[in-house]
Structure 1
Amino acid sequence: MIFPIVYNWVIIILRTCFTAIALNYLPVWLTLDYLSDLMYITDMIVILHTGYLDQGILIKDLARLRKRYLHSKHFLRDLASLLPTDFLYFAFGIETPLVRINRLLRMPRLNEALDRMETRTSYPNTFRISKLMIYIFVLIHWNACLYFSLSNYIGFGSDRWVYPNVTNPEFASMRRQYFYCFWFSAQIFTTVGDTPLPNKEEEYLFMITDLLIAVLVFASIVGNVGNVITSLRDRDNVFFPNHELVKAYLRSHHISKELRQRIDNWYQHLHINKKIMRENEILQQLPVHMRTEIAVSVHLPTLSKVTIFQSCEKSLLEELVLKLTPQVFSPGEYVCKKGDVGHEMYIIKEGKLAVVADDGVTEFAVLSEGNFFGEISILNIKGNKSGNRRTANIRSIGYSDLFSLSKEDLTHVLAEFPAAKRHLEEKGRQILTKMGMLEESGEAAEGEAERVETKIQRLESNLEILQTKLARLMVELESSNRKMQARVEQLELEVAALETQPEGGDKGEGAQGREEGVGGEVEWEREEKKR
């Protein structure tokens, strides 16, 4: 829908103001007019069959689509833009294209189409600048047409401000007329100021209006260009590490010039070759399943080249690709050294690396794209003679792009895939056996370690049971102590009461009181037992 809408916005005003252009190319204009009308009708049919979302569900039922469109304000606007106003040619003449002014009502469809294109294009910033230039061109074009029409109204060549006299052969051609008016209008909107001063009131009003519009145009250009520059800067900050912060840190700590130069070269390599170091941060806003699909399409072929991961189930590889971390090594930089503890494995995406001796000069082999190393060290296989330490020195020959997979990430993923874990460990043992790096007693030691671990788990379980029983006994003991203390206090009170009675009292009453005391004590003991 971009072509017919832009055509009507440009050509209708052009034919209205430049009558010579309208009459000389009339067959062409009529053909394009009715071709754009046909495209308008086609657009309405497409809209009628375009689904929409209702509570997240895509509606495709034609009856519902027709009802929704026919009862919307968009249909009324589209219908008004297709009213057959061309019949007014019979009343006003064929040289009056302004009767088709209702075709401009489709402008919202143009904005909608451009917005959709902006979200789908791979270069949104370039598209925004192009869209802004189209709008500015249409604005200058309309102003140029109105300037020519005003010059015709005032009189060509009547003063220096209007268009020169068309009787002059130099300014008589249609091409010269349009280009001159467009240049004059562009000068006003760009506030260059190299335009003749107006002489009449109409000219002053025209200039005042144009200057006010020019302020808005200038502000719009500055704002849009500023947004594009900001977006580019933000994109670079997301894609690449912040070089300015690193340089400030290096200067403040007086790092050697040689090391600073190496770091600058590393950053330059990233920017020139568009090496993205923050893939996970860039894709963090996407849902997990989309991140997985992207990672699978980008990194799964690389991960599948690793021997120990071949024949593994696809779901495991899909989990692992999310854990791959890109790394870039500079020329002469060591990826790993002999004797280092292996915490990750590496897969070469691009570049060459050399397996060198301890002197750093002698090269035993050269690894290139698709090769990998360090895969055994992250499996923690029992009986490995190297003890998960690096067995060679690996140095980057030039700039090398590698993917690293850490031992922690692999362990975390394999915890959910016990069968795959046993499969990988078995393949790792086979590789170590071929290399002669697996101790024969390794498997026995591994079995013994498992038995010891089982015994420890059993002892820990028994210990928990005993601790529970001990806690219960402690509670019962504390309850018994409280009961005993209560009984002692009761007896002390009774003894004190007997001691305070008069000596001449009735012995029968004393005996009866003792019987009642003893009976009360027995009754109290019964109540305590019930409790």
Structure 2
Amino acid sequence: MLQFKRFQALWEIIVVLTTLVVGGVLPYRLGIGLELDGPWQTRSLLVTLVFGLDFVIHLWDRLRQRGDRPTAVVSWATLRLFADLVAALPYSLLLGAVGPSLELLRLVKFLRVQAILSRWKQVSSFNPSLLRLTSFAFWIAVFSHWMACGWIGLGGVEQRGAPMSQHIEGLYWCITTLTTVGYGDVTPKTDVQRIYTMFAMIVGVGSYGFIIGNVASLLSNIDVARSRFLDKMEKIDAYLRYKSIPRNLRDRVQNYYQYLWDSRLAHDDFEVAGDLIDSLRTEIMMHISRPLVERVPFFKHASDEFMRSIVPHLQPKVFLPGDHIFKQGDVGDAMYFLTRGQVEVVLEESGRQLAVLAESAYFGEIAVLKEVPRTASVRAIDHCQVYELKRDSVNQLMQAHPDFAQHVLEALDSYEDT
């Protein structure tokens, strides 16, 4: 299966490149008036071979996916199947009986290209909006090239100068017509040219607004997350100003949200993954919680089963420099795992610093397990990221996983011994 997937990816690249060559060269040669001579007929046979093999491979893949059902081929006998057959015909052998323009029917292979590009977009890791914008530009370029070649073929461009110059002039007419600019320096002179120009104008008028609107939408959606973040920041700032919040407090709020964005914590992970099935949601949360596994020594040797159990209970929290994570005398309702930053353990009354905890430390388990008030305060020294584990979750995990219970109780015993 993996080998077939690799072969399929390589083959699709070959099909796309072959189709692009045909779609670029064939209309150009016919428009300019170049003969489809012997060398081109040889290339046409190669194209027939590639398109014919693609038809067989595509059909076999469809049959493999749908099984041996009799309706498999019938259900697939649609426009795409017909287009693949038409594109694979040996036109180089028929040119004597029909006209060379008939080979333009190969352009229906672009339906297959569209299907391949759509599948690539689905499996790509690139920004979806950027891919859509690139695809949009690709089809505009292809259509403009065909329109320009058609205009040249109808005699809209004087047959003088180099073929490339004629093509550029044809593209100039096409772009000015489709964008409804129309400077008037290139005008139709025959009825056929006028009909062709009217068709181009209708297409241009119908697609101009669509193109502008979609491009603007795609550009604005290239970084949707940042756009939403900036919009949220503007609303928060407007609210704080409306409520006459002091400048220093506004700065702390903005600093907090900016830190969330810089640390990629600006989304509610559980809300984003809330619609997924349990298995997918757990996999995503396992990936998001990877810093906890990498930085907290206890979790480095934890089993996958335990990590899958504990991840849904972990709540990420962020504290700014000087913030209290909890204060001495508070009810001990949660323990914490520190994954970034430093905190200090202090006595509130005297202000004496008892300890400084860095990344990979965990704290707060004493009050949780003994069900007593906090014996000291914990305060953030710099920007800190912690995972919070509530008391009910601790009790539940200790019952389900004895190794976790033993580790926590050993830590509690060592604390009491000191």
| Shorter-normalised TM range | 0.7 to 0.9
CA 30–261 in structure 1, closer or farther in 2 if over 3 Å, else same: farther
In 2, Cα distance between equivalents of 1:328 and 1:320: 19
Q: Which residue of 2 aligns with 1:355?
A: 344
CA 309–69 in structure 1, closer or farther in 2 if over 3 Å, else same: same
CA 136–307 in structure 1, closer or farther in 2 if over 3 Å, else same: closer
User: Which deviates more from structure 2 when the two are superposed, residues 236-245 or residues 76-85?
Assistant: 236-245
Q: Which residue of 1 aligns with 2:110?
A: 107
1:176 aligns with 2:179: no
CA contact (8 A) 1:238 1:278 kept: no
Q: Which residue of 1 aligns with 2:410?
A: 430
1:8 aligns with 2:37: no
Q: Which residue of 1 aligns with 2:185?
A: 196
CA contact (8 A) 2:44 2:92 kept: no
Q: Which residue of 2 aligns with 1:525?
A: none
Report matched runs for 1:120-269 at 5 Å.
120-122=123-125, 123-150=127-154, 152=155, 162-164=156-158, 166=160, 172-196=161-185, 198=187, 200=189, 202=191, 203-228=193-218, 231=221, 235-236=225-226, 242-269=232-259
SS at match of 2:29: helix
Report matched runs for 1:75-94 at 5 Å.
75-91=81-97
Alpha-carbon displacement from aligned partner over 1:66-91 (angstroms, at most 9, x marks no partner):
87236731444422322222212334
SS at match of 1:327: strand
Alpha-carbon displacement from aligned partner over 1:133-189 (angstroms, at most 9, x marks no partner):
111111111121122223x3xxxxxxxxx53561xxxxx122222222213322222
In 2, Cα distance between equivalents of 1:184 and 1:335: 68
In 2, Cα distance between equivalents of 1:33 and 1:360: 86
Deviation of residue 263 (structure 1)? 2.0
In 2, Cα distance between equivalents of 1:212 and 1:224: 19
SS at match of 1:254: coil
SS at match of 1:322: helix
In 2, Cα distance between equivalents of 1:85 and 1:164: 29
SS at match of 1:221: helix
Larger Cα-atom Rg: 1
Q: Which residue of 1 aligns with 2:384?
A: 400
Unpaired runs of at least 5, structure 2: 1-14
In 1, Cα distance between equivalents of 2:400 and 2:136: 58
CA contact (8 A) 2:345 2:376 kept: no
Q: Which residue of 2 aligns with 1:521?
A: none
CA contact (8 A) 1:308 1:428 kept: no
SS at match of 2:313: coil
CA contact (8 A) 2:49 2:88 kept: no
Amino acid at match of 1:432: L
Report matched runs for 1:316-327 at 5 Å.
316-327=306-317
SS at match of 1:184: helix
Q: Which residue of 1 aligns with 2:271?
A: 281
Amino acid at match of 1:260: R
Q: Which residue of 2 aligns with 1:47?
A: 58
SS at match of 2:174: helix
Amino acid at match of 2:173: F
Alpha-carbon displacement from aligned partner over 1:348-404 (angstroms, at most 9, x marks no partner):
33x421326458896943513x333334444x236xxxx25153423142x333333
In 2, Cα distance between equivalents of 1:117 and 1:41: 22
Amino acid at match of 2:384: S
Of 282, 286, 293, the match for 1:292: 282
Alpha-carbon displacement from aligned partner over 1:68-118 (angstroms, at most 9, x marks no partner):
2367314444223222222123346xxx64232232233332222222222
CA contact (8 A) 2:128 2:222 kept: no
Q: Which residue of 2 aligns with 1:372?
A: 362
CA contact (8 A) 1:266 1:330 kept: yes
CA 300–38 in structure 1, closer or farther in 2 if over 3 Å, else same: same
SS at match of 1:143: helix
Q: How large is the RMSD of aligned CA atoms in angstroms?
A: 3.6
CA 360–9 in structure 1, closer or farther in 2 if over 3 Å, else same: farther
CA contact (8 A) 2:257 2:266 kept: no
In 1, Cα distance between equivalents of 2:300 and 2:201: 70
CA 323–426 in structure 1, closer or farther in 2 if over 3 Å, else same: closer
CA contact (8 A) 1:189 1:213 kept: yes
Amino acid at match of 2:390: S
Q: Which residue of 2 aligns with 1:73?
A: 77
Amino acid at match of 2:50: M
CA contact (8 A) 2:44 2:91 kept: no
CA 142–60 in structure 1, closer or farther in 2 if over 3 Å, else same: closer
CA 187–275 in structure 1, closer or farther in 2 if over 3 Å, else same: farther
SS at match of 2:135: helix
Report matched runs for 1:460-499 at 5 Å.
none
In 1, Cα distance between equivalents of 2:43 and 2:320: 60
Identity of aligned residues (%): 22
CA contact (8 A) 2:318 2:386 kept: yes
SS at match of 2:96: helix
CA contact (8 A) 2:48 2:88 kept: yes
SS at match of 1:196: coil
CA contact (8 A) 1:239 1:278 kept: no
In 2, Cα distance between equivalents of 1:193 and 1:333: 64
In 2, Cα distance between equivalents of 1:241 and 1:286: 27
Amino acid at match of 2:356: A
* Structure having greater relative contact order (Cα 8 Å, sep ≥ 6): 2
Of 399, 406, 412, the match for 1:418: 399
Provide TM-score, normalisation by structure 1: 0.65
Q: Which residue of 2 aligns with 1:155?
A: none
CA 101–271 in structure 1, closer or farther in 2 if over 3 Å, else same: same
Amino acid at match of 2:176: Q
CA 143–65 in structure 1, closer or farther in 2 if over 3 Å, else same: same
CA 59–145 in structure 1, closer or farther in 2 if over 3 Å, else same: closer
CA contact (8 A) 1:345 1:375 kept: yes
CA 272–301 in structure 1, closer or farther in 2 if over 3 Å, else same: closer
